């Protein structure tokens, strides 16, 4: 069993040691990445990166919030290893368990009661200011301005056909999983993870008629920066990855890789929505 923890979370040390004890008590080997081992103080078999760890274990137990899950999902892309998220953050849309319920969650894993849910990854390839771009994301890609709040203009095509030119603070291209992240905050629709679609959501559009657009996940979305003299950046899952200048472009499409998230028996996407967003009908 692989163990990965977020060193920025106060509870990581104690929960990681608890997880290690539970795994060892079940008679299973504990593997960790070097960063987690050093931070928590574990002497178990360690790997230099999460990517290497994912290739050698049959389950990744990830301690943190949604941001930690996103990071690990990108690093584990192509390994096929399921990810069990333990929430040490706030909302925890992608996590399966709280730290308090870790013991019961692992019992459900050992007894085969959990199921694995596949979530599509998306990829962006193109040209940036400093050369070629190739990035993978689970939630979204965001093209937005830098520190100076100036409008940027982006031409967007879907399967080579011009959709529109957006003028505003930027554009979010999200996967179904990412619909409950930045896209939701920017006014986009909530999308079921089983819906094979992209959501294209403008950020503070200058034209009030611009709204979030839903297109097939099999489509290729091309985004070209038209603005000059405005600092513009590409972020993948909230992490800045490249700087763009006028004429630079990106093509976003579905990745051939998927993320595999462990889910507890009885859990559902709509149940999570009701609970996390405090919607009417929630019993929590």
Q: Based on the residue annotation, tell me whether 66 is a catalytic residue of this protein.
A: yes
Alpha helices in the chain (DSSP H): 12-25, 34-40, 50-56, 66-75, 102-110, 182-185, 269-276
| Residue from 53, 284, 174 nearest 42 by CA | 53
Q: Please count the helices (runs of H) and the strands (runs of E) in the chain.
A: 7, 18
3-class DSSP state for residue 137? strand
Under 8 Å CB-to-CB from 101, ≥6 apart: which residues?
none
Active-site hit among 29, 33, 58, 66:
66
Residues 246, 127: Cα–Cα separation, whole Å: 11
Bridge partners of 213, per DSSP, are: 200
Tokens standing for residue 126: 């193109």
Under 8 Å CB-to-CB from 200, ≥6 apart: which residues?
156, 163, 171, 172, 173, 212, 213, 214, 215, 221
**Residues designated catalytic:** 66
């Amino acid at each position: 069993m692989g163990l990965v923890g977020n060193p920025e979370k106060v509870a990581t040390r104690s929960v990681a040691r608890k997880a290690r004890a539970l795994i060892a008590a079940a008679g299973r080997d504990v593997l960790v990445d070097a960063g987690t081992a050093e931070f928590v103080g574990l002497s178990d078999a360690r790997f230099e990166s999460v990517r290497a760890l994912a290739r050698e274990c049959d389950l990744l137990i990830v301690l943190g919030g949604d941001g930690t899950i996103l990071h690990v999902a990108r690093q584990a892309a192509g390994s096929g290893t399921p990810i069990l998220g333990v929430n040490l953050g706030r909302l925890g849309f992608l996590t399966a368990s709280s730290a308090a319920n870790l013991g019961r969650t692992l019992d459900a894993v050992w007894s085969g009661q959990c199921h694995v849910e596949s979530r599509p990854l998306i990829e962006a390839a193109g040209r940036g200011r400093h050369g070629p771009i190739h990035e993978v994301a689970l939630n979204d890609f965001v093209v937005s301005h830098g520190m100076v709040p100036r409008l940027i203009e982006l031409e967007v095509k879907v399967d080579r056909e011009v959709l529109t030119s957006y003028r505003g603070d930027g554009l979010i291209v999200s996967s179904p999983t990412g619909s409950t992240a930045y896209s939701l905050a920017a006014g986009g629709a909530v999308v079921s993870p089983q819906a094979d679609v992209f959501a294209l959501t403008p950020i503070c559009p200058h034209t009030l008629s611009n709204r979030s657009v839903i297109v097939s996940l099999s489509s290729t979305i091309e985004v070209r920066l038209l603005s000059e003299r405005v600092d513009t950046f590409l972020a993948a899952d909230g992490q800045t990855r490249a700087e763009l200048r006028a004429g630079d472009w990106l093509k976003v499409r579905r990745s051939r890789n998927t993320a595999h998230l462990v889910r507890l028996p009885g859990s559902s996407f709509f149940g999570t929505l009701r609970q996390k967003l405090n919607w009417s009908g929630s019993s929590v």
